[in-house]
């Protein structure tokens, strides 16, 4: 019979090992992608057009395509998400309706990305083809926007709720109306939190493949002004194409390197802003 | 215009905006069901759910093989992710000194932030090769690799929700137990984990939803063969309850074979499928299936979470 003290020590060891295992897994994945990806990477890889069916040259159109798609997604989701947050926090007590909105947000968040892809395909490709032009930046960007809307709503809600009551009451005490308090006090002081949500949404949208896979094209195109109705490429779908068709795993890793770098850098900024915000609230 | 009126107008406008999420959900349901409906004018729902033959060329649309593979891969992922995730959550909530927590937390956030296509790429190049060489298989693209990749992908959600629920167990429970002379492990096992169990369960349910809906990683590592293992087909044909046990006995062997998940089938076949045709509609029917499964999982996990919070108070 092992004494209870020994069991205690063993189990503590198990917990330490499982946490270290997870850290090792992350470093394995990142380390491998970085070490493989860096060999493909140089200045021209990022700035030039691809040649020979993406085997040679750069990946510039995929980077630009991803950035524009994500911009459209954010333009749709951020205003809607923030306004929803303001309504839930400032205008409504907890009741059946807010519960209904919350359940919708949670369910929307749980919808698999490929189902968003199907929805976008049916809505933008066939029913609204005359409006969207089929596989265009507008269709892809909006589908991505639908996907990240729950993230933006939730983070905005948290940010708006964290505004100290004393600030609101101070504003009312000075004779400000509710609308003035919202626009001059509540929204400005929750902006860092909202920005954190936007950055998280940015990272999520940039990394999605399945929702836009029916909306982007594989041959290199540079979207022309005014962007919305032109076709585009995306980093994620190109990685899938290069890997699944076994065109070039090496270049797929190059693109993965670029994609992860974009996401890591944006996450780092989100964290910085979060820290800044935490310090400000304490004051 | 006076202030009150302005406020009313703003309030109503904001209300309209805030219904977007609900509206979107309804639209998704309407469009998916609308496209999927055409399939069931041709074949019955039972043929779709239980049919073991998928051959659009011959007009056979049995989605059972895909459901079977999705289920097996998810179950395998849970087998790996639950022990690892829960013990990591316990570590973060109860054991870790603050420096270790400061390292582990960002690691988990980063894991959650890695795009699924990159998990797929890593799985295909590293884990598929590794499994092929160490187990001496003809192909490394197997359900086992799918389970491993999915396990890594659902770890963050299981850890973060379990950790929250472990941390929300009142400190008095723990202090009481330690004061009675119990060791930390005894306290965890007998007091904290039982109290946190509903929350852990909710996290696992959300993880299941993620795993079933995951597309890009799965499509790259599973090998995409929709043929049901011969034995499963044979046993299903005989229709006897006892056969379920035989199938379960075969699972270790099945894990080393390729498969194709619901999500991969949609992704791979949407290109060739003719728009508005039966094949196209059948793929939407699979989308409906995925939607229903993830919807139920998400709602039930929310119910469990909110109930457990009330209980702990």
Q: What is the pLDDT of residues B232-245, one digit of tens each?
A: 666 666 555 566 77
Of B96, B220, B283, the CB nearest to A243: B220
Q: What is the pLDDT of residue B236?
A: 65
Q: What is the pLDDT of residue A20?
A: 94
Q: What is the pLDDT of residues B174-225, one digit of tens each?
A: 889 989 988 888 898 889 999 999 999 999 999 999 999 999 999 999 988 8
- Burial, A264: exposed, middle or buried (Cβ in 10 Å; 0-12, 13-18, 19+)? middle
CA pair distance B34, A271, nearest whole angstrom:
43
Of A7, A113, A209, the CB nearest to B185: A7
In chain B, which residue's Cα lies nearest the Cα of A200? B113
CA pair distance A205, A185, nearest whole angstrom:
30
Domain parsing of chain B, residue ranges: 64-312
Put simply, the answer to whether B22 touches A84 (Cβ < 8 Å) is no
CB A109 within 8 A of CB A152: no
Q: How many independent structural domains does chain A possess?
A: 1
Q: What's the maximum distance between 2 C-alpha atoms anywhere in chain A?
A: 76
CB A106 within 8 A of CB B298: yes
B121 neighbourhood in chain A, CB within 8 Å: 33, 239, 243, 249, 252-253, 256
Put simply, the answer to whether A179 touches B287 (Cβ < 8 Å) is no
Q: What is the pLDDT of residue A48?
A: 84
Put simply, the answer to whether B20 touches A177 (Cβ < 8 Å) is no
Put simply, the answer to whether A101 touches B22 (Cβ < 8 Å) is yes
Q: What is the pLDDT of residues B283-313, one digit of tens each?
A: 999 999 999 999 999 999 989 988 877 666 5
Percent pLDDT > 70 in chain B is: 94
- Burial, A51: exposed, middle or buried (Cβ in 10 Å; 0-12, 13-18, 19+)? exposed
CATH number at residue A143: 1.10.3720.10
Radius of gyration from C-alpha coordinates of chain B? 23
Nearest-Cα distance to chain A for B242, in Å, is 34
- Does residue A193 form part of some domain? yes
Q: What is the pLDDT of residue B239?
A: 56
Which residues numbered 149-168 in A keep a CB inside 8 Å of some CB on B? 149-150, 153
Check residues B124 and A53 and name the one with the higher pLDDT.
B124
Q: What does each C-alpha distance from B10 to A179, A206, B4, B7, B13 come to in angstroms? A: 8, 33, 10, 5, 5
Three-state DSSP state, B8: helix
- What range does the domain containing A181 cover? 43-282
Q: What is the pLDDT of residue A76?
A: 95
Neighbours of A60 (CB within 10 A): 18
Can you list the residues of chain A whose pLDDT is less than 50?
Answer: 283
Nearest-Cα distance to chain B for A51, in Å, is 22
| Partners of B55 in the β-ladder | B60
Q: What does each C-alpha distance from A126 to A132, B24, B261, B276 come to in angstroms? A: 10, 17, 26, 9
Percent pLDDT > 90 in chain B is: 50
B155 neighbourhood in chain A, CB within 8 Å: 22
**3-state SS of B67-113?**
HHHHHHHHHHHHHHHHHHHHHHHHHHHHHCCHHHHHHHHHHHHHHHH
Check residues B140 and A146 and name the one with the higher pLDDT.
A146
Q: What is the pLDDT of residue A267?
A: 85
> Is CATH 3.40.50.300 what the domain over B64-312 is classified as, yes or no?
no
Q: What is the pLDDT of residue B140?
A: 83
Predicted TM-score of the model (pTM): 0.91
Strands A56-57 and A50-51: antiparallel
Nearest-CA neighbor of A79 among A185, A138, A152?
A152
Mean pLDDT of the B82-86 span: 95
Q: Is A261 on the interface with B (CB under 8 A)?
A: no
- Does residue A146 form part of some domain? yes
């Amino acid at each position: 019979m092992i004494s209870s003290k020994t069991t205690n020590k063993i189990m503590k060891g198990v917990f330490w090992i499982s946490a270290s295992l997870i850290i090792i897994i992350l470093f394995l994945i990142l380390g491998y992608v970085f070490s493989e990806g860096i060999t493909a990477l140089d200045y021209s890889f990022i700035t030039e057009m691809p040649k020979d069916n993406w085997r040679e040259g750069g990946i510039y159109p995929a980077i630009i395509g991803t950035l524009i798609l994500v911009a459209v997604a954010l333009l749709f989701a951020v205003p809607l998400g923030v306004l929803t947050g303001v309504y839930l926090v400032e205008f409504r007590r907890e009741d059946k309706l807010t519960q209904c909105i919350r359940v919708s947000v949670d369910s929307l968040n749980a919808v698999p990305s490929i189902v968003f892809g199907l929805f976008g395909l049916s809505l933008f490709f066939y029913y609204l083809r005359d409006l969207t032009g089929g596989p265009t930046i507008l269709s892809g960007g909006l589908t991505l926007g639908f996907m990240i809307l729950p993230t933006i709503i939730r983070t905005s809600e948290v940010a708006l709720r964290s505004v100290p009551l004393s600030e609101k009451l101070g504003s009312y005490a000075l004779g400000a109306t509710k609308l003035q308090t919202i626009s001059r006090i509540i929204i400005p002081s929750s902006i860092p939190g909202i920005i954190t949500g936007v950055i998280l949404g940015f990272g999520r949208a940039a990394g999605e493949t399945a929702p836009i896979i029916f909306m982007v094209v594989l041959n290199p195109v540079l979207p022309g002004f005014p962007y919305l109705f032109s076709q585009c490429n995306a980093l994620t779908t190109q990685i899938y194409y290069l890997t699944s068709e076994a065109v070039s795993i090496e270049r797929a890793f190059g693109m993965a390197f670029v994609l992860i770098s974009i996401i890591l850098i944006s996450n780092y900024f989100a964290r910085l802003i979060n820290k800044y915000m935490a310090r400000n609230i304490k004051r | 215009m006076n202030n009150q009126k302005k406020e009313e107008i703003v309030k109503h406008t904001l209300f309209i905006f805030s219904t977007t999420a609900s509206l979107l959900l309804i639209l998704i349901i309407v469009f998916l069901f609308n496209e999927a409906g055409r399939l069931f004018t041709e074949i019955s729902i039972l043929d779709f759910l239980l049919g073991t033959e998928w051959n659009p060329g011959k007009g056979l649309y049995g989605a059972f093989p895909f459901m079977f593979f999705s289920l097996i891969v998810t179950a395998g992922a849970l087998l790996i992710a639950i022990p690892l995730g829960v013990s990591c959550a316990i570590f973060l909530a109860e054991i870790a000194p603050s420096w270790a927590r400061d390292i582990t937390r960002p690691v988990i956030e980063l894991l959650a932030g890695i795009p699924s296509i990159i998990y797929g790429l890593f799985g295909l190049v590293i884990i598929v090769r590794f499994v092929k060489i160490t187990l001496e298989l003809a192909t490394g693209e197997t359900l086992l690799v799918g389970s491993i990749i999915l396990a890594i992908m659902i770890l963050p959600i299981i850890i973060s929700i379990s950790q929250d629920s472990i941390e929300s167990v009142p400190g008095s429970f723990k202090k009481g137990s330690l004061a009675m002379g119990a060791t930390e492990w005894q306290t965890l096992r007998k007091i904290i984990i039982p109290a946190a169990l509903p929350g852990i369960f909710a996290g696992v349910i959300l993880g299941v939803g993620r795993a079933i809906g995951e597309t890009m990683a799965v499509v790259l590592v599973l090998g995409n063969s929709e043929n049901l293992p011969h034995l499963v087909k044979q046993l299903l044909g005989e229709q006897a309850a006892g056969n379920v046990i035989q199938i379960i006995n075969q699972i270790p062997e099945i894990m080393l074979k390729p498969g194709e998940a619901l999500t991969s089938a949609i992704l791979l076949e949407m290109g060739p499928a003719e728009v508005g045709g039966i094949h196209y509609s059948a793929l939407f029917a699979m989308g409906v299936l995925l939607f229903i499964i993830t919807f139920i999982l998400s709602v039930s996990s929310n119910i469990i979470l909110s109930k457990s919070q009330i209980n702990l108070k």
